[in-house]
Amino acid sequence: MNDLDSFAALLTDEGAGLLAELRDHAAADELALATRLRRDHPAELVSAALGQARLRQRAAAKFGAEDAARMYFTPNGVEQATRTTVAEHRARRFAELGTGSVADLCCGIGGDAIALARAGIRVLAVDRDPLTCAVAQANAEALGLAELIEVRCDDVTAVDTGAWDAVFVDPARRGGRGRIFDPEAYSPPLSWAIDAARRARCAALKIAPGVPHELVPAEAEAEWISDGGEVKEAVFWFGTTPGAVRATLLPSGDALAGTGLPNPPVRPVGRYLYEPGGAVVRAHLVAEVAASVGGGLIDPMIAYVTSDALHATPFATAYEITDQLPFNVKRLKALLRERAVGVLTVKKRGSPMEPEELRRRMKLKGPNAATVFLTRVEDAPTMLVGRPV
């Protein structure tokens, strides 16, 4: 039985019954479950159901437990799909732009198509892999969105998107050897995706967050998105504000827009240290954070902002600094022992030492907690000790 046949078997009443029975199964019980189920069901169907049940459990972190329990996945689909919070944010932006229909190219298992459809937008979901398309179709039906989502198995470069209001392209960024870092090695290449976006009234291109700023087209807006503090992606938007840059933090939705500020001044470490969020750093908007807290940089090459005043901002985490030491592991160990620190958070920017190595060498004991920053201050290796505010 090939992959398509195995997947089709899961869509039968017998397959659905097995998946329902396996919904909350524990990994430790899997062998006994498989043995029992194979007495009444074909072995290949039981194996396929167990595999799908595992994928659903993994997918709950991205899609939520209720949706994941009804959806279908492939291993690559779980790994590469956009998480719901990010897809919903993008769908809202499309809706705000007056978009009634979107051609979702490289749709995968349909994560973005689902969010778009739930925003009331018609979707053409295209992928070239037959199994992936079958999964996307099954997901549209399972979530009651089949009337808004048309799934098409095709080469996205051959699809005429002229009848659709907008285009969304999510090129494949993984190959046989893992993650692909060269945007021209994406499938399809970034240059093709940009050309497709230029032909549409409105478009969004999902890119790896490490994309160099010089690759952002002049007519595009660049948005970096984090979710729960973790940078997830960059998006090139066409049909919005050319040259605009923003960092968006989810799930709050707070957005920081670039204002073209020059690099902040370098100044001595003050009472407070601000750690800008990853999306802010990727978007090169540290200057905007520094301006909002009345601060400057501790080093021209390090994205830590310091200030003598405490300011509330969603775009950076504030720490009160109690000690500044030259890089010296023995001095830090003595200081932490004196302060009875037993829980140590280690952060680093601009230091070769790994946090795990420093924690191992501290041999901590005590009821108190502290945060140590391994960094550089005006090009000198430095340790800053403090606590979150």
Question: Is residue 283 classed as helix, strand or coil in its secondary structure?
Answer: coil
Dump pLDDT digits (tens) for 90-130.
999 999 999 999 999 999 999 999 999 999 999 999 999 99
Dump pLDDT digits (tens) for 131-171.
999 999 999 999 999 999 999 999 999 999 999 999 999 99
The whole-number average pLDDT for the span 230-242 is 96
Quick one: pLDDT at residue 181? 77
Share of the chain above pLDDT 90, in %: 87
Instruction: Provide the mean pLDDT of the chain.
Output: 94
Share of the chain above pLDDT 70, in %: 98
Quick one: pLDDT at residue 72? 97
Q: Is the pLDDT of residue 303 over 60?
A: yes
The whole-number average pLDDT for the span 20-26 is 88
- Cα–Cα dist 181/197, whole Å: 21
CA angle 331, 332, 335 (to 5 degrees): 90
Q: In what order do the strands lie in the sheet with 245-250?
A: 149-153, 122-127, 101-105, 166-169, 202-207, 230-238, 221-227, 245-250, 254-257
Q: What are phi and psi of 255, to 5 degrees?
A: -130, 135
CATH tag, 78-255? 3.40.50.150
Dump pLDDT digits (tens) for 246-301.
999 999 999 999 999 999 999 999 999 999 999 999 999 999 999 999 999 999 99
Identify any residues that bridge with 386 across adjacent strands, giving them in sequence order: 321, 371
Question: Exposed e or buried b for every residue in 181-195, given b needs 16+ CB within 10 A?
Answer: eebeebebebebbbe
Per-residue pLDDT band at 68 (split at 50, 70, 90): very high
Categorise residue 12: left if φ over 0, alpha if ψ from -120 to 50, beta otherwise: beta
Q: Is the pLDDT of residue 180 over 80?
A: no
Which sequence spans correspond to the domains of the chain? 3-58, 78-255, 272-388
Quick one: pLDDT at residue 310? 97
Quick one: pLDDT at residue 33? 84
CA angle 81, 83, 88 (to 5 degrees): 115
Contact 194, 218 (CB under 8 A): no
Q: Is the pLDDT of residue 173 over 80?
A: no
Per-residue pLDDT band at 183 (split at 50, 70, 90): confident
Quick one: pLDDT at residue 116? 98
- Cα–Cα dist 339/239, whole Å: 56
- Cα–Cα dist 71/365, whole Å: 47
Quick one: pLDDT at residue 105? 97
